[in-house]
Amino acid sequence: MDWDHLRVFLAVARHGQLLAASRKLGLNHATVARRLDALEADLGTVLFDRRPAGSVLTQAGERLLPVAEGIETALLGAAEGLRDDEAEVAGTVRIGAPDGLGNHFLARELGRFARQYPSLTIELVPLPRSFSLSRREADLAIGLDRPVEGRLIVSRLTDYSLGVYASADYLAVAGTPADVDGLAEHVVVTGVEDYAYAPALDYAWALEDRSARRFRCASVTGQMEAVRAGIGIGVLHDFAAADLPGLVRILPEMGFRRSYFMLSHPDSAGLRRVALCRQFIARRFEEERRRFLPA
């Protein structure tokens, strides 16, 4: 099989459209279609059900996918293995993370890391409900729940705490609830259940059960900004709230503790650029443990 054809196959499988694959590969649409046609002719089977809305893998395409991914990983590993150990680290590493962690910790930390390697491109992306490390939708991912299936390398980064917050301006106008029952007189800011991609994001009920006045925002960053703007009272990450002026932690009896896990795929974990990122992230979480679990 021609690797150029397989490379096109992988791009179409990952992006679901010939046009998106052509943009990713830097090829024109006709070249992508021609190489895909050639691969299907070589194999004597149809790999995609090509529809107006996109291209969907057939059963044959599903069987070819892990084979093509394995070849890709082997080629990437061989290329890195042939480089001198002192050669510059280059390429792209995509890291998926929850938006609160990404915006309030990882963006800053990974930006500093990237400065050490001018030829390395870091892509920090929000973690969707579902993603595939084997399909290179991310090289590393940080999740809130330990996976129970799949061929993954999983390491626990840290536990972290959350508390109940309001802005000083909000409390000056609406008053500070003396206890959790006092939330009945306040607006509570929570997430949107339909967009909660992890069971660990189940703490909204603690506020919503005690108040009929609610403002919901799907993203963690949106909830933080709503609380800062004086919309109401919400549960926020302690490590993020510490950097946001004007926030006051209230109701100390109500707190939550969750965990972050780092996930990588064994086929790509040995790539030098991925391994360096993984080591850096693990070290920074260890060094900042008190930030995530303040006394």
CB neighbours of 204 closer than 8 A, spacing ≥ 6? 190, 191, 193, 196, 235
How many other C-beta atoms are found inside a 10 Å radius of the C-beta of residue 32?
Answer: 23
Indicate if 177 and 233 belong to the same structural domain: yes
My answer on whether 142 and 165 are in the same domain is no
Cα Rg for the chain, rounded, in angstroms? 23
Same-domain check for residues 253 and 166: yes
Overall pTM > 0.85 = no
List pLDDT tens digits, range 161-175: 999 999 999 999 999
Going from the C-alpha of 146 to that of each of 95, 156, 207, the distances in angstroms are 17, 8, 26
Which residues constitute the domain of residue 97? 91-158+260-292
Where does a domain end: 51, 82, 113?
82
pLDDT over threshold 70, residue 107: yes
Residues 270 and 249 in one domain: no
200 in the same domain as 145: no
175 and 242 together in one domain = yes
96 touches 126 (CB < 8 A): yes
Q: Could you tell me if 166 and 247 lie in one domain?
A: yes
Bridge partner list, 122: 93
Nearest to 282 by CA among 155, 160, 111: 155
What value does the mean pLDDT take over residues 199-209? 81
pLDDT of residue 162: 95
Please indicate, yes or no, whether residues 135 and 166 belong to a single structural domain of this protein: no
188 and 116 both lie in a single domain = no
> Mean pLDDT over residues 83-98, rounded?
77
Q: Among residues 82, 104, 139, which one ends one of the domains?
A: 82
Tell me what the mean pLDDT of segment 75-104 comes to.
77
**Considering only 147-151, 163-167, 247-251, which range has the smallest mean pLDDT?**
147-151
DSSP notation for 51-109: ETTEEEE-HHHHHHHHHHHHHHHHHHHHHHHHS-TTSPP-EEEEEEE-HHHIIIIIHHH
Q: pLDDT higher for 86 or 101? A: 101
Most confident of 4-18, 57-71, 84-98, 112-126: 112-126
Per residue in 250-282, pLDDT (tens digit) is 999 999 999 999 998 887 777 888 999 999 999
Mean predicted confidence (pLDDT) in 234-252: 94
pLDDT at 80: 61
Residue 45 sits in the same domain as residue 74? yes
CATH of the domain at 101: 3.40.190.10
Same structural domain for residues 141 and 186? no
Please give the Cα distance from 177 to 233 (Å, whole number). 10
- pLDDT tens column, 10-46: 888 888 888 888 888 889 889 989 999 999 999 999 9
* CATH number (domain holding residue 61): 1.10.10.10
Domain tally, the chain: 3
d(CA 101, CA 240): 8
Q: Tokens 């046009």 — which residue? A: 19
